[in-house]
């Protein structure tokens, strides 16, 4: 055996070299070949398992770089490995003796250093650039309780801002004992691998080599909630994987995935082993990163890279980074609880942070709606908010739960789609340029088809909502399935930008996917399908939007549906948005012309005045001149744009069409200020955007005399100096 026994330090396995990996990939895949040449014999493994069990009974060490564990994980006894790339001898600490020339340390890690994997133009597959044959095992570190039935694995990944997805490629995942790939499968006794792949659109897939599969690896999408996990160029993403081994004799193995803290995959019928051998519990990370793929069409068209950081293995859920260096968690200032008809939710956050939110219970990611002002909810929801700011670790998630009870429905309207189409992409074996630039908006059906990576059709539909002026009680988007095949299948509805046209949209100019708009539905036959979009509709109307647009996407491989479009002959089967409204007030108050106002300045303050068209409250904050504009929620709670207390703040209780005023004091003389106002009524309708009024205090008389005297002295000095220079020139 090439692994050496160290009696004092227990057994540490030497990892395969890149050359060995490439030889294995090129070799035949007989049963004998499938067993790693560096794997110890079964008796040796039994000795190893016995020693590891003894060590675990006394203590459990942590492998990797234990002197640089992130603050939020320090002190956790379930931590088995931590890697931050801060140590110069990280390869030794990780027991990953990579010799790939494309692997280097970068100072642009998540925090501090990171691992940079170079990916070179024109290279693909396991023998190309990147890192393909490297891994580390927990059993390589003495004292680590490595032989477990289940494991959590978390790392951060960032793509080059100009990263080309091309056809896709491999990124790290959990493994046991030995590498499997390239069509070589384990036999149920000698380990397994469960890496990830990215697709041609950046979507995340589980890519597993398990004993019951044949051919290439098994790929499973990460779209459990209906929103596909997507690696965005230039963004740090957190991937966490959980695997629990199956019971021997049953196919009940589990793999779960979280993407940026959002649960996105749940597989519960996997086969990792056919026998309870130590090899199947010899956990580690298959640190694989390359384009490919088996042909040049997988290769990147120019040099690019990926960054990795904060690699963790543990026996309990790890989660995104917390503690020092992480953005402060936003504050949802509207209390959770029971409300009548609606609630308008306000949020505040750290200076410079972008707050994103969801109302579907999912953790907000980079594609979630940006919070720019109060959000109106009309149906019960778990509202969540998270702060983002460039490369800084995003914040924890703030959550508030709202229960909405409605007055009786007083009105109903049905809006027919104003635009619908689908966009079609084919992979490289088809004439992509011709297909990608074709518009299908004139067809009588809208297609939604999920094929393999690089081949799919996505439906698009858009509705006018400018006529929705009353309080929304419910809103259903309804589509009629003309025909379907390959099902039953799950279909999801995603938010998107309405800036596309029925006759102009193509795959090449398609709008971006945004967050999940509604819970996925299952389609198995022709007929109506529908989604609840009440909160999304209400929030967009509160912003002043007049259109709603959606993507319709199939989540089930090779499942397709054709849905009747707005061009369909019978209007009764065209896409519908059915909105029920109540008599509840849904309109924020309006300022009377000329209001709000600031007047009567003095040396230390001024008077603020407000007047609105219905009974309610006007809120105001006083900020330094030129300070960033606060949100409506921040004005309401007396804060500046960074969430700190304003220089001055207050509220005026107003009757309809009646003015009120307040004196603001304790300000600096002769200083300009910005005063922001927002108004709400007695039905919890808060205006969306604050109004700014400029103000200035007057200088104190003594200060004026002093400034005049100083000015005269300076002027006199300048005159004298000028006369002196004239004399010098004579």
pLDDT above 60 (res 247) = yes
Mean pLDDT, rounded, of the chain? 84
User: Which among 258, 238, 268, 48 is positioned nearest to 140, based on CA atoms?
Assistant: 48
Residue 134 burial by Cβ neighbours in a 10 Å radius (0-12, 13-18, 19+): buried
Whether residue 494 is found in the same domain as residue 573: yes
pLDDT above 70 (res 48) = no
User: Which among 379, 405, 412, 380 is positioned nearest to 580, based on CA atoms?
Assistant: 412
Whether residue 648 is found in the same domain as residue 538: no
pLDDT for res 215 = 78
Q: Which residue has the higher pLDDT, 130 or 82?
A: 82
For residue range 429-441, what is the model confidence (pLDDT) as tens digits? 444 556 678 899 9
* CB proximity list for 582: less than 8 A, separation 6 or greater: 341, 406, 407, 408, 409, 410, 411, 470, 471, 472, 473
For residue range 122-142, what is the model confidence (pLDDT) as tens digits? 999 877 888 877 888 999 888
Confidence band for 18, pLDDT divided at 50, 70 and 90: very low
For residue range 670-689, what is the model confidence (pLDDT) as tens digits? 999 999 999 999 887 889 88
Task: Give me the CATH number covering residue 49.
Answer: 2.60.120.200
Task: Give me the CATH number covering residue 423.
Answer: 2.60.120
Q: What share of the chain is helix, strand, coil (3-state, %, to 5)?
A: 15, 40, 45
Q: How far is CA 412 from CA 90, 532, 580, 583, in A?
A: 65, 15, 4, 11
pLDDT for res 701 = 72
Length of the chain: 730
| Other beta carbons within 10 Å of 235 | 18
pLDDT above 60 (res 29) = no
Give me the mean pLDDT over the 14-18 stretch.
Answer: 36
pLDDT above 70 (res 11) = no
Whether residue 400 is found in the same domain as residue 444: no
24 CA to centre of own chain: 38
In a domain, 183, yes or no: yes
For residue range 497-513, what is the model confidence (pLDDT) as tens digits? 999 999 999 988 999 88
For residue range 250-301, what is the model confidence (pLDDT) as tens digits? 999 999 999 998 889 999 999 999 999 999 999 999 998 999 877 888 999 9
Task: Give me the CATH number covering residue 693.
Answer: 2.60.40.10
pLDDT for res 427 = 53
Q: Rounded distance, CA 190 to CA 211, Å?
A: 9
pLDDT for res 676 = 97
Picking from 384, 405, 426, the residue at the C-terminal end of a domain is 405
Task: Give me the CATH number covering residue 385.
Answer: 2.60.40
Whether residue 71 is found in the same domain as residue 212: yes
In a domain, 592, yes or no: no
Whether residue 52 is found in the same domain as residue 190: yes
pLDDT for res 433 = 59
Residue 29 burial by Cβ neighbours in a 10 Å radius (0-12, 13-18, 19+): middle
pLDDT above 60 (res 516) = yes
In a domain, 115, yes or no: yes
Angle, alpha carbons 511-514-519 (nearest 5°): 125
Whether residue 421 is found in the same domain as residue 358: no
Percent of the chain with pLDDT over 70: 85
pLDDT for res 451 = 57
Picking from 405, 424, 446, the residue at the C-terminal end of a domain is 405
In a domain, 324, yes or no: no
SS (H, E, C) 450-494: ECCCCCEEEEEEEEECCCCCCEEEEEEEEEEEEEEECCCEEEEEE
Q: Rounded distance, CA 518 to CA 345, Å?
A: 19
Domain that holds residue 66: 4-314
Give me the mean pLDDT over the 86-111 stretch.
Answer: 86
In a domain, 326, yes or no: no
In a domain, 247, yes or no: yes
Query: 483 and 526 in contact (C-beta within 8 Å)?
Result: yes
For residue range 539-555, what is the model confidence (pLDDT) as tens digits? 898 888 899 999 998 88
Whether residue 19 is found in the same domain as residue 109: yes
Confidence band for 36, pLDDT divided at 50, 70 and 90: very low
* CB proximity list for 235: less than 8 A, separation 6 or greater: 158, 159, 366
**pTM score of the predicted model:** 0.72
pLDDT above 90 (res 335) = yes
The residues that bridge with 383 in the sheet, in sequence order, are 400
pLDDT above 80 (res 38) = no
Work out how many domains the chain is built from and give that number.
5
pLDDT for res 702 = 56
Of the listed ranges 523-537, 565-579, 716-730, the one predicted with least confidence: 716-730
Of the listed ranges 160-164, 490-494, 642-646, the one predicted with least confidence: 642-646
User: Which among 97, 98, 89, 96 is positioned nearest to 66, based on CA atoms?
Assistant: 89
In a domain, 693, yes or no: yes
* CB proximity list for 525: less than 8 A, separation 6 or greater: 481, 484
Whether residue 437 is found in the same domain as residue 338: no
Q: Rounded distance, CA 358 to CA 535, Å?
A: 10
Whether residue 708 is found in the same domain as residue 695: no
pLDDT for res 60 = 53
How many CA atoms, within 13 angstroms, populate the side-chain half-sphere of residue 657?
Answer: 0
pLDDT for res 429 = 43
pLDDT above 60 (res 47) = no
pLDDT above 70 (res 354) = yes
Whether residue 553 is found in the same domain as residue 429: yes
Helices (H), 360-511: 432-436
Percent of the chain with pLDDT over 90: 53
Whether residue 659 is found in the same domain as residue 686: yes
Picking from 582, 608, 628, the residue at the C-terminal end of a domain is 582
Confidence band for 3, pLDDT divided at 50, 70 and 90: very low
Q: How far is CA 123 from CA 119, 162, 295, 453, in A?
A: 7, 17, 9, 20
In a domain, 322, yes or no: no
pLDDT for res 8 = 31
For residue range 686-701, what is the model confidence (pLDDT) as tens digits? 898 899 999 999 998 7
Give me the mean pLDDT over the 197-218 stretch.
Answer: 88
For residue range 602-620, what is the model confidence (pLDDT) as tens digits? 999 999 999 999 999 999 9
Whether residue 419 is found in the same domain as residue 519: yes
What is the pairing mode between strands 471-485 and 576-582? antiparallel
Q: Which residue has the higher pLDDT, 98 or 599?
A: 599
């Amino acid at each position: 055996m090439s692994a050496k026994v160290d009696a004092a330090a227990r057994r540490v396995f030497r990892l395969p070299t890149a050359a060995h990996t490439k030889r294995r990939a090129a070799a035949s895949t007989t049963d004998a070949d499938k067993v790693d040449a560096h794997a110890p014999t079964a008796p040796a493994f039994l000795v190893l398992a016995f020693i590891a069990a003894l060590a675990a009974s006394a203590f459990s060490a942590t492998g990797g770089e234990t002197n640089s564990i992130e603050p939020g994980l320090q002190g956790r006894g379930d931590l088995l490995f931590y890697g931050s790339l801060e140590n110069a001898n990280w390869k030794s600490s990780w027991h990953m003796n990579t010799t790939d020339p494309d692997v280097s340390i970068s100072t642009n890690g998540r925090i501090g250093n990171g691992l940079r994997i170079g990916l070179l133009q024109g290279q693909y597959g396991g023998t190309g650039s990147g890192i393909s044959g490297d891994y580390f095992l927990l059993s390589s570190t003495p004292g680590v309780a490595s032989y477990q039935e289940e494991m959590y694995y978390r790392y951060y990944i960032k793509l080059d801002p100009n990263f080309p997805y091309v056809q896709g490629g491999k990124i790290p995942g959990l493994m046991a004992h030995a590498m499997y790939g390239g069509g070589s499968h384990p036999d149920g006794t000698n380990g397994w691998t469960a890496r990830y792949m990215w697709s041609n659109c950046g979507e995340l897939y589980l890519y597993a080599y398990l004993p019951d599969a044949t051919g290439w690896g098994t790929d499973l999408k990460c779209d459990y909630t209906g929103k596909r996990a997507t690696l965005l160029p230039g963004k740090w993403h957190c991937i966490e994987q959980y695997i629990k081994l199956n019971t021997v004799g049953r196919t009940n193995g589990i793999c779960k995935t979280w993407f940026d803290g959002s649960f996105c995959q749940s597989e519960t019928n996997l086969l990792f082993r056919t026998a309870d051998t130590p090899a199947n519990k010899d956990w580690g990370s298959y640190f694989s990163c390359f384009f490919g793929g088996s042909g040049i069409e997988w290769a990147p068209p120019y040099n690019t890279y990926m960054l990795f950081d904060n690699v963790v293995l543990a026996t309990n859920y790890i989660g995104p980074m917390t503690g020092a260096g992480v953005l402060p968690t936003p504050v949802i200032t509207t209390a959770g609880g029971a409300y009548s008809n609606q609630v308008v939710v306000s949020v505040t956050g750290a200076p410079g942070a972008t707050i994103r939110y969801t109302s579907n219970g999912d953790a907000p990611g980079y594609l979630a709606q940006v919070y720019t002002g109060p959000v109106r909810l009309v149906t019960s929801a778990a509202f969540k908010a998270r702060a983002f700011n460039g490369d800084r670790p995003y914040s924890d998630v703030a959550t508030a739960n709202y229960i909405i009870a409605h007055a009786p429905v007083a009105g109903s309207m049905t809006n027919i789609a104003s635009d619908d189409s689908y966009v079609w992409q084919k992979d490289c074996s088809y004439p992509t340029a011709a297909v990608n630039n074709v518009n299908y908006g004139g067809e009588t059906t809208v297609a939604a088809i999920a094929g393999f990576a690089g081949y799919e059709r996505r439906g698009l539909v858009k509705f006018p909502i400018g006529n929705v002026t009353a309080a929304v009680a419910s809103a259903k988007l309804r589509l009629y399935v003309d025909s379907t095949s390959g099902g039953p299948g799950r279909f999801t509805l995603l938010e998107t930008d309405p800036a596309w046209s029925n006759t102009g949209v193509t795959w090449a100019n398609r709008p971006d996917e945004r967050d999940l708009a509604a819970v996925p539905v299952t389609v198995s036959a022709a007929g109506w399908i529908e989604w609840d979009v009440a909160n999304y509709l209400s929030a967009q109307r509160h912003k002043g939007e007049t259109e709603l647009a959606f993507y319709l996407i199939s989540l089930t491989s090779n499942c397709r549906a054709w849905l009747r479009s707005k061009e369909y002959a019978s209007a009764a089967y065209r896409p519908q948005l059915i909105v029920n409204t109540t008599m509840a007030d849904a309109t924020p108050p309006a300022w009377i012309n000329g209001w709000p106002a600031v007047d009567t300045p003095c040396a230390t303050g001024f008077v603020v005045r407000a007047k609105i068209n219905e009974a309610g409250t006007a809120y105001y904050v006083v900020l330094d001149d030129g300070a960033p504009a606060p949100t409506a929620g921040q004005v309401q709670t007396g804060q500046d744009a960074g969430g700190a207390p304003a220089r001055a703040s207050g509220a005026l209780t107003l009757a309809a069409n009646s003015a009120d005023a307040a004196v603001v004091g304790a300000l600096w003389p002769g200083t300009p200020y910005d005063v922001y106002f927002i108004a709400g009524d007695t039905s919890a309708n808060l205006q969306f955007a604050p109004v700014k009024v400029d103000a200035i205090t007057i200088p104190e008389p003594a200060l004026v005399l002093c400034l005049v005297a100083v000015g005269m002295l300076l002027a006199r000095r300048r005159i004298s100096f000028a006369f002196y220079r004239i004399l010098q020139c004579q």
